[in-house]
Amino acid sequence: MTTETQDLRRAMARAAEEIDQALDILLPTEEGPEARLYAAMRYAAVGGGKRLRGFLVLEGARQFGVSRHAALRVAGAIEMLHAYSLVHDDLPAMDDDDLRRGKPTVHKAFDEATAILAGDALQTQAFLVLAQEDTHPDPAVRAELVRCLAQASGARGMCGGQMLDMLAEEGGQQLDEAAIGRLQTLKTGKLIEFSAEAGAVLGKAAASQRHALLGYGRDLGAAFQIADDLLDATATAEETGKRTGKDAEAGKATLVSLLGLERARLQADRLVDQAKSHLDGFGERADLLRMLADFVIERRN
């Protein structure tokens, strides 16, 4: 492991810890007869996960001297949104998964109705946190954060991508490269893009800087997705901590199955270079973001 990778891993671990502390404060505490709902929300959102999206928010915000308090609230909101999507994706009617991050999924640990409700309430809580005055004194910033998160995660973002994914699996369709790209942009790309961009919104950065971070997030997200597919195709379950070879087994078209390992790897490399080039106007402060881009295609888990 290079020193750079060690620095990055340390920074990510520290950020994940801070984000967990923020989530502990931002989520309703377990009291009252409806505490089961709050417990399920916490079970889904607190602890575990790489917190890639939250880390992007924190590092983006750091470019503009945004207060850690504000950045952590936005990071927490985006991680809640991400957690809600996982809870609902895992439901029996969707991907029907029993395990997530090594523990039983919410509908297994609680029940299906509680999982549906907890996902719903996590989404709501994400928007609530963004809209609260404590997130930023300027209401224009708060309204813009809400607008961007809703855009990234709704019908023309994450939910739309999830629909595409379901339809492709159901119909057994072999998507072409363009269709796979669109699916992944919607399903995971837009939220990663916004995570990278959010710090610029918080910092009221110049449009050019906001645009640069958004471009970074877009290319990083695309590289991340190819890396995920490569891992699924090549890594062992011991390395990743989850079952591998799932895509091939499901006959699911990915960029890796379409392009082959070698060309997929080259494309991921190209995307990483492109992601970093968006940061050319940023100084040393953006080094962790640069390392992160290298890291996403090097990781084995």
Give the DSSP letter string of 125-171: HHHHHHHSGGG-S-HHHHHHHHHHHHHHHSTTTHHHHHHHHHHHHHH
Q: Round to whole Å and give the CA distance between 87 and 126.
A: 14
**Binding of a copy of itself by 174 (CB under 8 A):** no
Q: Residue 260: left if φ>0, alpha if ψ -120 to 50, beta else—which one?
A: left
Q: For residue 28, what is the DSSP state?
A: P
**C-beta of 11 vs 128, nearer to a copy of itself:** 128
Six token digits for residue 9: 């891993």
Q: Give the binding range for a copy of itself (CB under 8 A) out of 58-66, 142-150, 207-215, 271-279.
A: 142-150
**Binding of a copy of itself by 53 (CB under 8 A):** no
Choose, by CB under 8 A, the member of 11, 131, 233, 235 that binds a copy of itself: 131
Tokens 């549906």 locate to 116
**Binding of a copy of itself by 116 (CB under 8 A):** yes
**Binding of a copy of itself by 233 (CB under 8 A):** no
Six token digits for residue 72: 């952590």
**C-beta of 186 vs 268, nearer to a copy of itself:** 186
**Binding of a copy of itself by 127 (CB under 8 A):** yes
Q: For residue 63, what is the DSSP state?
A: T
Count of residues touching a copy of itself (by CB under 8 A): 54
Six token digits for residue 126: 């994400």
**C-beta of 63 vs 114, nearer to a copy of itself:** 114
189-228 binders of a copy of itself (CB under 8 A)? none
**C-beta of 21 vs 132, nearer to a copy of itself:** 132
**Binding of a copy of itself by 112 (CB under 8 A):** yes
**C-beta of 141 vs 296, nearer to a copy of itself:** 141
Cα end-to-end span (Å), the chain: 14
Minimum distance from residue 181 beta carbon to a copy of itself (Å)? 13
Longest Cα separation, the chain: 56
Residue 135 identity: T
Dihedral (CA of 299, 301, 17, 212) sign: positive
Helix (H, G, I), strand (E, B) or coil at 103: strand
Strands in the chain per DSSP E: 99-100, 103-104
**Binding of a copy of itself by 297 (CB under 8 A):** no
**C-beta of 28 vs 48, nearer to a copy of itself:** 28
Residues at the site binding a copy of itself, with contacts judged by CB under 8 A: 28, 32-34, 36-38, 41, 84, 88, 91, 93-94, 111-114, 116-117, 119-121, 123-125, 127-128, 130-132, 138-140, 142-144, 146-147, 150-151, 153-156, 159-164, 166-167, 179, 186
